[in-house]
Structure 1
């Protein structure tokens, strides 16, 4: 697991190569404010090899945060992450690993009959009931989440995962009312609280696509304050002294800035604030997905924003925008090739925007 001693030693080794605030506090220590994601890419051995090389390069050159998920590339991404951690000449206690569960994962390849596969591996196995399965492929049923934590540990070959997310729980709103979905989230949190107590995971979070960055009237909306309350209740039920909910993940970039601009979450004073500000005020770490809009911003950034950013390439400037927002611990970016990793690492040599300059972008 990532430790304070291990991650601070990693920061001491690489920190002088980067700009200010490149390493930021997370868990017992620090992580790089650029993290490597493993979502994109075909489920092939060739892509596995490129990812492995890319991840090792990143770990050995200053990036110590890797994000994956049980369903990414049919489970191949978790396997590759574990391989890279063992191959890199970096101690495990210097590296923070995040994974997630919610979508039913396939095993290396897409089965000929996905419906039958899901029936056999989820429904018949007693991991979820039919009315807990959204779009035929998503569930946060407690038995399923518990099984997925075990599966993630098994596929990565690691004894501990530093952060484990519920993956897109708003998907459940397609089959259940909002109160029922909150109840399901709380039940899943109880599982994760137990896994924190057992030291299988260090902490947990909620990874979303729409839930936290849309207004309350939106069909996919979930209240971040209510999710926090449910985590506190789950901790109390399990008997933990405090909630293990410490992180959220959501899209944030130059062209998808809703997490900062949409006031959707009620504060103690009754006012609404954005997901990023709520997280910032309540000590929740934010990890941004789609930080370069899944490659779109590598081709260019809107001129009104571009001039305020530092970086040699549009992708670097886009990354530096995402990691400049309040509450953001790290901006995640895919890196299925060593060339992209080198570019992403170099982005960290530039300073992020200061608060005043960042705010001025939205004036």
Structure 2
């Protein structure tokens, strides 16, 4: 697991090469505001090799935040992350490693019949109960998450991960009421609190796609205040004190998907609010997270490559951003949003790693300048 001393030492080693606020508070110390993701790519040996080299280069260049998931690239992504860290001259405790559980993973390749694979591998073996499964591929039941975390630690070949996300919990809303999903989250958080106490994870959070971006009345909406209150209840239930390990939120954010900043869909409760803030004035997800002391990690920071082309960023916005390439300017837009801790970019191309790292040599927009983009 990462340590405060090692994270700060990494910052001291690389910080002078980057612009203002490149390293930001995360976990027990600080981490780079440019992170490397591992979602994209076919489940092949060639992509494994390229991804391993890309992660290794990132670690040696000032990027110490690596994000993955148990299901990415049919389970290969986690293995590659672990191999890259093992081979790196950068100590493990100077790297923030995050993974996710929720979607059922394949084992190295996509099966010819995914439904049959799920029946034989997960249902028949009792890893997940059919009643907990949504869309044939998603579960956040505590027993399944325990299995998923153990699977991740094994594939990563690590004793612990720094952050474990529940992956797209809004998926459960396809078949359950919102209140039932909140109950599921609390049960899941209690399981993760126990694993935090055991030292298997440093913290946990939720990695979402729609939940915190859509309007309050949307069928895929979740209240961050309620999610946080369920984590607080889990912390009180598990102990050893009444603290909790819910520390991070991951969501898509870029110049074309700026809802987390522009849409006021979350409500900050006052300490005395019995209704959980239901009647409070709404704020954006980024403002809520900042006020609640949560780290925000952005996914799709350059729109999975779509914003890396000339003209993809609106000209008036592009003119405000620092960077030599569209990808750098898009990434710096995401990093500039008030409340953002780190912005992820997935790549297995070493030239793209260098381009992404170089974006951090430019200063991000200040809060007032970022606000002005939307005026």
TM band (smaller chain): over 0.9
How far residue 27 of structure 1 moved from its aligned partner, in angstroms, is 1.3
Is 1:255–2:267 an aligned residue pair?
no
How far residue 321 of structure 1 moved from its aligned partner, in angstroms, is 0.7
How far residue 147 of structure 1 moved from its aligned partner, in angstroms, is 0.4
Rounded Cα–Cα distance in structure 2 between residues aligned with 1:219 and 1:236: 30
What is the aligned counterpart of 2:282 among 272, 277, 280? 272
How far residue 336 of structure 1 moved from its aligned partner, in angstroms, is 1.1
Which residue matches 1:206? 206
Which residue matches 1:45? 45
How far residue 113 of structure 1 moved from its aligned partner, in angstroms, is 2.1
| Mapped contact 2:225–2:269 kept (Cα < 8 A) | no
How far residue 54 of structure 1 moved from its aligned partner, in angstroms, is 0.3
Is 1:289–2:290 an aligned residue pair?
no
Alignment of 1:21-36 (within 5 A): 21-36=21-36
Unaligned runs of 5+ in 2: 271-279
Deviations along 1:52-98, one digit per CA (max 9) or x if unpaired, are: 00000000010000000000000000000000001111011110100
TM-score when normalising by structure 1: 0.99
Count residues in correspondence: 363
Q: Secondary structure at the match of 2:209?
A: coil
Deviations along 1:86-119, one digit per CA (max 9) or x if unpaired, are: 1111011110100001000000001222112212
Alignment of 1:49-128 (within 5 A): 49-128=49-128
How far residue 188 of structure 1 moved from its aligned partner, in angstroms, is 0.8
Rounded Cα–Cα distance in structure 1 between residues aligned with 2:211 and 2:121: 28
Deviations along 1:30-64, one digit per CA (max 9) or x if unpaired, are: 10000000000000000000000000000001000
Deviations along 1:158-184, one digit per CA (max 9) or x if unpaired, are: 111000000000000011111111111
How far residue 301 of structure 1 moved from its aligned partner, in angstroms, is 1.1
Deviations along 1:228-285, one digit per CA (max 9) or x if unpaired, are: 0000111111124211000000000001000111111111261111111000110000
Rounded Cα–Cα distance in structure 2 between residues aligned with 1:57 and 1:38: 14
How far residue 127 of structure 1 moved from its aligned partner, in angstroms, is 2.9
- Runs of 4 or more consecutive aligned structure 1 residues displaced over 6 Å after TM superposition: none
Which residue matches 2:353? 341
How far residue 125 of structure 1 moved from its aligned partner, in angstroms, is 2.6
How far residue 132 of structure 1 moved from its aligned partner, in angstroms, is 1.4
| Mapped contact 1:131–1:175 kept (Cα < 8 A) | no
